[in-house]
Chains A and B, each alone.
Chain A
Amino acid sequence: MSNQRQASSASQTPHLSPAELSYLYTSLSLPKSPIRPDGRSPTQFRPLTAESNILPGTNGSARIGFADGTQAIVGVKAEVEKTVLSTDTLASGEGGESTAATSGHGSWVQMSIEIPGFRDDDALPVFLSEMMRESLVGAVVEGGDGGGDVMMAGGLKGRLVINKRWHWRLYIDVLLLSQPLSYPLPLLSLTTHLALLSTKLPKLKSQGEEDPFFDDDWEVAEYLYPRGSKLKATSGLASQYVRPPVTLLVVSVGENVIFDPSREEIAVADAVLAISVTRDTEAGNLKLLSIRTIDPPSRLTQPAVPNSENVNMLGATAPTEDIAVLNPATGEEEVPGVWRPRRGGVKRSVIANMIKTVLKKGGVGEEVLEGLEGVEVE
């Protein structure tokens, strides 16, 4: 029970003293130029190692290792399955059948997450997998008239349709190799993204409504997410391809927005957001899929006692008055240098700033997507 609570409130909090927490908070909340413990800039990510197509026995696979040593492996398997129409779509007649058969169904994508120390049906793995599956199947492309993207009409769900009677079923298995040190969502999301990018389906040889049969040659297999040819990439159209969503972890400390937070940084954050974005085909812009707030662990920390209220320090220090000042980000009165647990709640402008930094052109979201694309090319 306590284990679960810790994990869901974003990670085993590092055991930091109130003084350390206060120091971290102060340096991270310096206006305009936060000082991070590892000297990164606010939008800089820690180095990570990534490789894809590591398992020959899967349709697509990837491994990502984060700087803190946590690693995840994702394998994607696809199976052909007969489309079974539910009774109510049958009842609604010919029209209903065709929509179900062309637009696909969300349940065709199955996701399971295994985290050491958790059972399959524990809250955290179930919650995480549903959260990621949702954004995967939810990312429907409207129109789908963007050049080579006819295949992606209807998003991932539509891509899985073979014909009216058959469809692909996608199993995404996520394996976390060690106990999560921080909230595992970004790691899992990036690895899943990479695995899906490398996923190939065998080339269909049958046509129309025949029972499907496939080309044996794995060389001619097609990517699940179509990739731009070299020609298109040079002409700058590569960004028009649909990509699986990625989820980024963003924290705010004071008025600063910080990406790829380390465990210590999460521990003092005012707000922790998991922001899912995907690439919109229409304009090549990023599209916001979902935002989730994650319970910041700083809520559970112990408050510090100002010298003025500390019996033990009576007379031990010079009688300087501690002056409470208003924290501009949270609107609470605080004594500088004395840790107060964050009670949640940040200003709307801070949240808006977080989202803007992810979404804007040339912003962090684009940078991450491009970086992941690069893994595959090599």
Chain B
Amino acid sequence: MPLDTSTTYPLTRLRLDGRRWNELRLLQAQISTNPASSGSSYLSMGNTAIMCSVHGPAEGRRGEASGAAGSAGAIVEVDVNVAGFASVDRRRKAGGSDKQSSRIATTLRAAFQSHLHTYLYPHSTISIHVSVLSADGSLLAAAINACTLALVDAGIPMPGLLTGCTSGMSGSASTPRDPRNDELDPLLDLSLPEEQELPFLTVGTTTCVPVGENHMDDEEEETKVAVLNMDSKLHCTYIETMLAVGMDGCNQIRELLEGVIKGSNRG
């Protein structure tokens, strides 16, 4: 039996790792893992494991971050490092960073620069260091979640938790969607083999809804998409489904992260 999702999924309705279409992988997280930083976190989604540490807000280095950008608020710096032992085969880097990690870094920087309340810290720098210890898909999404936890740990004000998740389709989805014969399912939280063969997108959302048991106005719910990233080809009729599934995944993850934050507060 060939081991790929697009052939086995229609038969079993189960994915390679035994999940159903709308199941997340096991998410485990910890905050305050590194006492040498302002805030830090460890987060694993399945076999993807990420450590993140935040330094700052601190005085920026002279010269850089100067001028108008500096005086308006803090500058967010993101540095992503995928460890050599993170993937199955040891990846050798040709001195410096590679394309994948610098792309993740750029996306994270853009997302958190606009998300955080940076105006409270003019002339300062918030530097985020992300280390990928083990890479098994959904890297960007896991990095967003890890950064959020570390920033909460560092006490940097933000309007809400920014969480990320991936979603994909269980087939190549290159033809328009046929409502009568719809055999493709959207998938939630893709692993590396799934990412490699299926179209997927990463979505990050934030929300200002009253959370937990303190609901005051349920209908006031307001989820905002802060990050949306897609590299694969797919017919546009599927986008909406994938986006909805991804945003649902973000909400699930947000609840998990809230549990992590509350748990470490009580402890």
Contact = CB atoms under 8 A, between A and B. Distances in A.
A/B: CB atoms within 8 Å of each other:
yes
A175 B36 contact: no
Given A75-B83, A171-B85, A178 B37 contact: yes
A-B complex: 10 closest residue pairs judged by Cβ atoms: A69-B36, A75-B85, A69-B35, A173-B84, A77-B90, A178-B36, A171-B90, A58-B85, A77-B85, A57-B134
A294 to B, nearest CB: 21
Contacts of B131: 73, 175, 177
Classify chain B's interface size: 20 to 34
B53 interface: yes
Contacts of A171: 84-85, 90
Contacts of B212: none
Given A56-B47, A68-B36, A177-B51, A116 B129 contact: yes
Do most interface residues of chain B lie in helix, strand or loop, or is the interface mixed? loop
Contacts of B96: 119-121
Classify chain A's interface size: 20 to 34
A61 B96 CA distance: 23
A178 B37 CA distance: 7
B248 interface: no
A181 B131 CA distance: 19
A112 B85 contact: no
Nearest to A119: B96
B84 A112 contact: yes
Nearest to A114: B81
Given A68-B36, A119-B95, A175 B90 contact: no
Interface of A: 55-58, 61, 65, 68-71, 73, 75-77, 79, 112, 114, 116, 119-121, 171, 173, 175, 177-178, 181
A69 B81 contact: no
A361 B51 CA distance: 40
Interface of B: 34-37, 47, 49, 51, 53, 55, 79, 81, 83-90, 93, 95-96, 129, 131, 133-134
Given A77-B90, A119-B96, A178-B53, 9 more contacts: A57-B86, A73-B133, A75-B85, A112-B84, A114-B83, A116-B79, A173-B85, A177-B131, A178-B34
A133 to B, nearest CB: 15
Nearest to A173: B84
A55 B36 contact: no
Contacts of B53: 177-178
Given A55-B134, A56-B47, A181-B36, A175 B95 contact: no
Contacts of A65: 34-35
A253 to B, nearest CB: 25
